[in-house]
Every structure is written in C-alpha cells, then in structure tokens.
Amino acid sequence: MDDKINVLIVDDSALMRRMLGDILSSDPRIKVVGVAKDGVDGLQKIRQLSPDVVTLDVEMPNKDGLTVLEEVMKTNPIPVIMVSSLTKEGAQVTLKALSLGCLDFVAKPSGAISIDIKEIAAELISKVVAAKGARVRTIGATVVRGSDSRAASSPAYKQGKRDIIAIASSTGGPMALQQLMSSLPGNLAVPIVITQHMPKDFTASFAKRLGSISEVTVLEAEEGMDLKPGHAYIAPGGSHLIVKRRPNKTPYCGLSNAPPVLSVKPSANIMFLSVADEFGGKVTAVILTGMGRDGTDGAITLHSKGAYVIAESQETCVVYGMPKAAVEAGVVDELLPLPDIPDALLRSVKG
C-alpha cells in the first residue's frame, strides 16, 4: 500500500514548479502527484487528483492564490501551504490566507524565482509532512466547545493570582490567536507576551491584524517597551522576546539576537524562561497548536516554580505537537479546547 503524502504544486513559474518538485520528491515520505500552472489549472487538478496537501503560489494569472484558497476552503477543505514572497505586501496577503484557512506558509527567501529556494527545503518538507495529519476548517468555522474540557476548579488557582500571561503557538496559531484574543476584555489586569513562529516583516502585520479584532491593545514587541496591563506584545520575527525588569521593578520587553533554539527564532522556550526568571510562579503559560516541541522546556521551568500551565487539547489543535510534548512532560495543569482557554485565563489572573 502506498502511504506516501500526495502533493500538488500550484505555481505559475515553471522553474519554481521544478525546484519545489525536486525538494519534495527528495523526501521518501512525499510523492508529487501533479503540478498546475495557474489557479484555474490548480482547482481542476485538485478535483482530479484529490491530493493530501497543496502548495499554492500567491501571485498567479487567471486566478490568484487567495481566490483558489477561498474556493477550496468553501467546497473541499484540504491542507494548503502558501508559498509567498518576503515583502510587506506578501505578509499582508499571507495573513489574509491564514485567516481563510491556509494551514501554513513558507516564505521565498528572495523574489518569485530564486535558486535560494533551496534554503527553505527542510522547512517546506517538515510543513508538508505535518500538514498530512492536520485539522483543516472551512471558512468562517469557529471552534466550539468540545468534550475534552477539564474541570477548571483546579487547586492551582488557589495559589494566588498571576501577574502575566505568556503564550506559545506555531502551525495553526494565527487562527487560534485570533479566536483567543478576540475573547479577552480590554481591561485585562495583566500584560500578555506571545511567541508565534513567523518570519521577520510578518509579525508587525500580524500584530496589527490581531489588534483590529481584539479589545486588548496588540503590539509588535520592541526593545524597551514597558509591559502594561491590557496589552499584548508579539515577538518580532527573527528575534527572541525576553522579559526584563527595570530597577523600579517595572517589567519591559527585551529582544535577543541569540541563535535559533530547536530551529525556531523567536523561541517560546527563551520567552518562557525569561518570564520564569522575572515572575517566578506568578505566570499563566499557554501552549497552543503547533508542530514540534517549542515551549516544553520553558514550561518545565515555569511549572517547577508554581506557574499555571494550560495546553490546547487535541480536539481543537490544527497540529497537536507542541501541546502534546508539554502534556507528555507532565507539566500541564489544564488541557482545554480553544474556546475554553479565555475563561481559564481570566480566572487565573483573578486568583
């Protein structure tokens, strides 16, 4: 039985189709079952070939990537990975794609046609492999409360109120964060720090998008920014977000150019460890959907200091990787479906 991951490549560049095909075919788990030269061709091939995963270019003639994505998600949702340019415009289009249900994206290192595409080979392969088992939602579908909720009357709430919320997310995170942040009140009594795996130039646009749907003020973190209640600070792509304190004990954002940790930068582990250093156990940490295990090592330290750790349960995760790693490490106090997490956060900061 052939259990390979069947992939369709949709791109208007013949060179890019060839290069992406060569990269994906180099992995024994993946089989490229077809290529399409534009959006119309892509939709036709999706119907004909029923691929497990589609890689989709953004800018194409006849029908662009967003139009194709929207049609796919409305009629026959399948995992789609966008291949987009690393520009400000590309970031905005990619974020729109993520809100339409695109699972993840890879950013072309330079231009639409570039031999530098080989730089993203490992990232592309890992995301295609993760996409095979991912949960894909139709446009407009919100995650509803499920059966996997755990009792929220945990003794951990009785240990005192929390002074900061720290959130880690990766694949599927942009959609999860949109739902989570839009459910929090603007008068939240504590600051929030967020590490979402995303490249440089994308996080500023993402912060703006989150801020437009949330009562909480959302900012891309900058060196020296004070951490204020009712504000959320997103780690900028390409930098680790660390929490520091001034001599007067005011917490503020610091940025670190340290190397990637577990191949990611920003790293939730680094953010969690810095929060543990400055706040000890007075922290609520949240690990949302994402592949890999970023956040687990930091959560181990936070948990050992008495912090309250919440993980998103498998039933609502797009990819149950990061939360699963934390659960297996034994440091999760509460495993909750996404719609139950905002209430748990509010309870934890009230004490």
The answer to whether 295 and 194 are in contact (CB under 8 A) is no
260 and 187 Cβ atoms separated by less than 8 Å: no
Catalytic residue among 197, 231, 240, 303: 197
Name which of 215, 241, 219, 208 is nearest 95 in CA terms. 208
Burial class of 316 by CB neighbour count within 10 A (0 to 12, 13 to 18, 19+): buried
Based on the residue annotation, tell me whether 170 is a catalytic residue of this protein.
yes
Burial (CB < 10 A; 0-12, 13-18, 19+), residue 13, is middle
Q: Looking at 52, 294, 297, 340, which residue is catalytic?
A: 294
CA–CA gap between residue 85 and residue 294 (Å, rounded)? 25
Tallying the residues shown for the chain, one arrives at 351
Candidates 84, 85, 169, 170; catalytic one: 170
**φ, ψ for residue 350, nearest 5 deg:** -85, -25
Active site residue 231: no
Active site residue 303: no
Strand 283-287: give its sheet, edge to edge.
217-220, 231-234, 192-196, 164-169, 283-287, 308-312, 334-336
| DSSP H helix total and E strand total for the chain | 11, 14
Please give the full DSSP string across 267-314, using - where no structure is assigned. -HHHHHHHHHHHHTT-EEEEE-SBSS-TTHHHHHHHHHTT-EEEEE-T
> Hey, which residues are catalytic here?
170, 197, 294
